[in-house]
Amino acid sequence: MSAELSRLLNALGLIAIGAVLTMAFIDQVWFGELPCPLCILQRAGLIAAGCGIALNIVFGPKPSHYGLTIIGAIASAGISIRQILLHIVPGTGFYGPDVWGLHLYTWAFLFAVAIVLGSALMLLGDRQFSQVQLISGRLKALPFIALILFFVLTIANIFSTLALCGTGLCPENPVDYELFHMND
């Protein structure tokens, strides 16, 4: 696999992460489902995974970038598993709505596993690492769009978390944005 094909595949992966983060925001803003602390940590793991992919796009593919991607995805998967185990016992309830029969934290786990598998498959393409590739002044459209989308969603997640949690710990079962009601 060439370094150029690797960048394209990484751009598609970053767009997939952006799509998941966008769907989480739609659920949060449009449907009013505020994320719990575990949900916020799952998003942070996806953002860490996305940072590894973004490094591959900007600086070219490197095993260390894939390593960061895998570490972020494993962190997100571990947090998702924790949330799944909290709600797996009958009668313990659940958090948030289900989509096609699975709750969002279960989908987050499956997506994180897909990131790990995708990164492992990308690591098998040794030729992408042996090619010397200078950073071009211009990125092609798709990688550039993927980077912008990811950057905007990362900033939005930071702002959303600050608004939700204020300056303290995040509420276990949030009902409103703490930052907007600190003086109440």
pLDDT at 182 over 80: no
Closest CA to 43 of 18, 13, 8: 18
Tell me the CA distances in angstroms from 62 to 91, 118, 120, one per residue in order.
47, 15, 12
pLDDT at 183 over 60: no
Q: Distance between CA 123 and CA 19 in Å, rounded?
A: 23
Give the helix, strand, coil percentages of the chain, each rounded to 5: 70, 0, 30
The confidence band for 175, taking pLDDT boundaries of 50, 70 and 90, is confident
Q: Give the pLDDT score at 138.
A: 54
pLDDT tens, residue by residue, 147-170: 999 999 999 999 999 988 887 888
Classified as helix, coil or strand, 117 is: helix
What residue spans define the domains of the chain?
Answer: 3-181
List the CATH code of the domain at 3-181.
Answer: 1.20.1550
Distance of CA 70 to the CA centre of its chain: 12
pLDDT tens, residue by residue, 21-37: 999 888 888 888 888 89
Q: Give the pLDDT score at 96.
A: 66
Hey, what are 147's tokens?
A: 């980077």
Mean pLDDT of the chain: 86
